[in-house]
Structure 1
Amino acid sequence: MHGTEIPIKNISCSGFCSRCGTRHSLEPGDALLHCRALMEKMDREGRADFELPQDKATPDFSTDYLFGKARGQMFGVMTYLDNSGTLKTAKAFSGQYNSHWEIPGWVPPIISPQEFYSLTERTEKEIKRIGMEMENHAHGSPAHTELSSRRKKLSQDLMRRIHAIYKVHNFRGETRPMPEIIYESKGIPTGTGDCCAPKLLNFAARNGYTPLNIAEFYYGRENKSATRSHKQFYPSCTDKCGLILGYMLCGL
């Protein structure tokens, strides 16, 4: 084991399933070996679109991005059996990579990027416009307060609509919008559904594949809270992924 790695013991991907009243989980298993190979590939190639020829590489996908102001992010690998029973692997990155939802060779996000941009473009412009208008009024003034309230409502409405376009699959053959599967009533944290494990499981469930193991690691500059370090392994998060992974693993 590399000296920079934190060992994952038994579980790397888990969540409570309200339907079953139990916690479903997957172990890291052989996915750890494939993660190490992926790290080495990223070290060697210096880019995330390494499945494309060098002459078709996009500067946006350089790994330099992960060591700059944006800092690093999580990456994951899943081993699975395809429909013919052949052992294969799939890889994912958390969230967006340098403002891109998709990179050739990586599993797609749960949402449709086109639907996301269509939904958010107009509203985000209006939110930014209101923010600029607020700068023309003194903080705490009636006009500033009214604009702030309007901007907050627009943001909240937009997040509700965004969450609704996350169509989440599980291994019972079910597909439900994300708000319907959150078993807690605190609301849905921003970024829920965008981490590696949900992307990988959704990819498998949509295609009828059988996941075997999942492992995730951090690659890049240490995050601001110093809770994630370069090339170290971490289990799936509980505050975001944990809200939907139980549903997603159900029926496996």
Structure 2
Amino acid sequence: MAAAEIRRVRKSVNFRYDGRNGNEKTKGENMFPPFPEKRAAQACEEIARKIDSGEIGVIRVTKESEERKDAGMMIGALVCRDEDGNETVIASNSGTARRLDLRGTEILSLPSQYAEPVASAEEIARALSGNDAEIHRLTEEIGSEKNAEKRRGLESKRKILCAQSLANVHALYSFCCADGKTRTLRDICESHNAAMMMPEGKLPPTGTGDCCAPKLLHHAFKNNLLPVSMCEFFVGNGGTKKCEPCDERCGILLPAMLGLKILFRDDDICAIDKPSGLLSVPGRTEKDSAETRFRRLFPGSPAQPAVHRLDMETSGILILALNRESQRAMQRQFENGDVRKEYVALLDGVLAKNGIPAHGTVETFFRLDVENRPHQIWDAENGKKAVTEWQVLGVERYESPGGTARNATRVLFMPHTGRTHQLRTASADAHGFGIPIIGDSLYGTKADGERLMLHARRIEFTHPRTGVRMTIECGEAF
């Protein structure tokens, strides 16, 4: 495989989401497109041509602001299939000030639908009207106030009113999701803030919900349509340019609407960031799982698409296959030890106090405790050998949900084998470190509101079809 191709592929998948800084990327600017783009991109190009020719009109809904005058617009297309296999194209544009006029228009020789804004411009204007006059008055007063202390007081009042207005707007937004449920923007943001360990009550950016992607998916799920292909384009004086869903706004909404945060996807495999608390595969009684949600989005995938497992309480990268050939090829790599994985954990104490060096490898032997499933117990004779390499990343102060603080050790784990609860037992058991991972309900203690501080942050493998060696990274939220 040519080096140039390897660099190209790695550039597209070697992301790092720095969860501790709020779902930001240090590599890549936008979230990975959740669905194939080719057909929807053709639809966007056709829409752009028809806008240019006047076949598709652009209707102005609200008065154009000076700063937006002559600005381009984002358009999006979603090719969908109904329960009978009939296809349609849903189109939309970002914002609420303009809308596409698709009346009587076919796109890709398919019937077309327009995805209306989730909240209309009129509804937004009414939500803002209560504080609007006072905000403008304060702005004028701030501009003329010479006393710095008084100016800060006025700015504080304005900030409170702006936050109230933004909350009023956010209350207008509810989204139909892939699982058939409707979720409010507030609930989505609360879940996002909790998962990313961000401050409670943190508001999303202005305009969240007005991008093309959430409008298109909301319309599709509301009408029981299955997404097949989705793409977004910027249309302006300089021509058209393909874009991807943004991290800032869509990065909050799309994982909640789809049920999965997709890190990478092509025609063969998909990598997701599995949240803590979600099963990798369906259980005996609990059917909700990463596999269940994946097959809802990609029903043509194998019946058991996950090619490996993560514990329910462990978060991080999980690989799923989109076809049987890729499933078999990926499973062989895991069986043969050709996949390299890295995990980050926060251990409940200081390893150095237990005489544990900063780097090393430990061998442990555990088996299932048949009377206390799924707990694993030490058994030097009958236990399965597990080999774990570790690297201490540092000692830091950990604050529990209850507000108490204590010292903790951040550790990078590089497992050389793939045993059940391998890292949890290596940490907690006296034959390993003797210090459990924070939030471990099986081998340590878990406080109310606490999660297992274990995250699969990096995986390296060979692509099952192209043979390219790939690396995918997803930083921990803790």
Shared fold per TM-score greater than 0.5: yes
Question: Residues 171-190 of structure 1: CA distance to partner in whole angstroms, max 9, x if unpaired?
Answer: 11111111222313363122
Cα RMSD after superposing both structures: 2.9
For the 8 Å contact 2:95–2:207, the answer to whether it is kept is yes
Structure number with the higher strand fraction is 2
Q: Which residue of 2 aligns with 1:169?
A: 176
Q: Which amino acid aligns with 2:245?
A: S
Is residue 127 of structure 1 aligned with residue 143 of structure 2?
A: no
Give the aligned partner of residue 110 of structure 1: 118
The worse-fitting range, judged by mean Cα deviation, of 25-34 and 77-86 is: 77-86
In the superposition, the TM-score normalised over structure 2's length comes to 0.40
Output the CA distance in 2 between the equivalents of 1:103 and 1:127: 32
> Which among 206, 229, 244 is matched to residue 213 of structure 1?
229
Alignment CA distance shift 1:86-1:192 (3 Å):
same
Query: For residues 127 and 85 of structure 1, do their structure 2 counterparts lie closer, same or farther at Cα, with a shift above 3 Å needed?
Result: same
Q: Give the paired residue count.
A: 209
Does structure 1 residue 81 correspond to structure 2 residue 109? no
CA deviation profile, 1:22-52 (whole Å, cap 9, x unmatched)? x992111311211111111011118633xxx
Greater helix content: 1
Give the gaps of 5 or more residues in structure 2: 1-11, 14-31, 103-113, 260-295, 298-478
Conserved? CA contact 2:80–2:88, under 8 Å: yes
Report the AA paired with residue 92 of structure 1. S
- Per the TM alignment, residue 122 of structure 1 is displaced from its structure 2 partner at its CA by 2.3
Tell me what 1:146 maps to: 153
Deviations 1:70-95 (A, max 9, x none): 52221111101135432110111111
The alignment status of 1:92 with 2:100, answered yes or no, reads no
Q: Which amino acid aligns with 2:94?
A: S
In the TM superposition, what are the counterparts of 1:1-252 in structure 2 within 5 Å?
25-45=34-54, 48-49=57-58, 60=60, 69=69, 71-96=71-96, 99-100=97-98, 102-105=99-102, 106-138=114-146, 140-142=148-150, 144-182=151-189, 183-184=192-193, 185=198, 187=202, 188-221=204-237, 230-250=239-259, 251-252=296-297
- Matched residue SS, 1:244: helix
Check 1:158–1:213 CA distance in 2 against 1; reply closer, same or farther (3 A cut). Answer: same
Q: 2-side partners of 1:145 and 1:238: how far apart?
A: 32
Q: Note closer, same or farther for the CA distance 1:241–1:70 as it changes in structure 2 (3 Å cut).
A: farther
Q: 1:196-234, CA deviations, whole angstroms, 9 ceiling, x for partnerless residues? A: 11000001111111111101111114xxxxxxx631111
Cα distance in 2, alignment partners of residues 47 and 209 from structure 1: 24
The 3 A distance-change label for structure 1 pair 44 and 169 is same
Q: What is the DSSP-based 3-state SS (H/G/I as helix, E as strand, rest coil) of the residue aligned with 1:214?
A: strand
Residues 234 and 243 in structure 2, CA contact (< 8 A), matched pair in contact too: yes
Q: Distance in 1 between matches of 2:246 and 2:133?
A: 31
**Aligned with 2:183: secondary structure?**
strand
SS at match of 2:57: coil
Q: Counterpart amino acid of 2:129?
A: E
Tell me how far apart the structure 2 counterparts of residues 145 and 104 of structure 1 sit (CA, whole Å).
Answer: 46
Residue 240 of structure 2 aligns to a residue in which SS?
coil
TM-score scaled by structure 1? 0.72
In the alignment, the residues of structure 1 paired with residue 163 and residue 48 of structure 2 have an alpha-carbon distance, to the nearest angstrom, of 38
Query: Which runs of 4 or more aligned residues in structure 1 lie more than 6 Å from their structure 2 counterparts after TM superposition?
Result: none
Structure 2 vs 1, CA of residues 68 and 194 (structure 1 numbering), >3 Å: closer, same or farther? closer
Which range is displaced more, 180-189 or 26-35?
A: 180-189
| Distance change >3 Å, CA 25–CA 147, structure 1 → 2 | same
Alpha-carbon distance between aligned partners in 1 of 2:156 and 2:90, rounded to the nearest angstrom = 43
Gaps of 5+ in 1: 1-9, 12-22, 50-57, 222-228
Partner SS for 1:236: coil
Q: 1:117 to 1:68 in 2, by over 3 A?
A: closer
Q: Which has the higher contact order (CA 8 A, sep 6+)?
A: 1
**In the superposition, relative to structure 1, how do residues 122 and 70 fare at CA in structure 2: closer, same or farther (>3 Å)?**
farther
- Deviation of 1:154 after TM superposition, in Å, equals 0.3
What secondary structure, in the 3-state scheme, does the structure 2 residue paired with 1:162 have? helix
Contact residue 78 and residue 200 of structure 1 kept, 8 A: yes
Distance change (3 Å), C-alpha of 1:139 and 1:94: farther
Is the 1:81–1:87 Cα contact (8 Å) retained in structure 2? yes
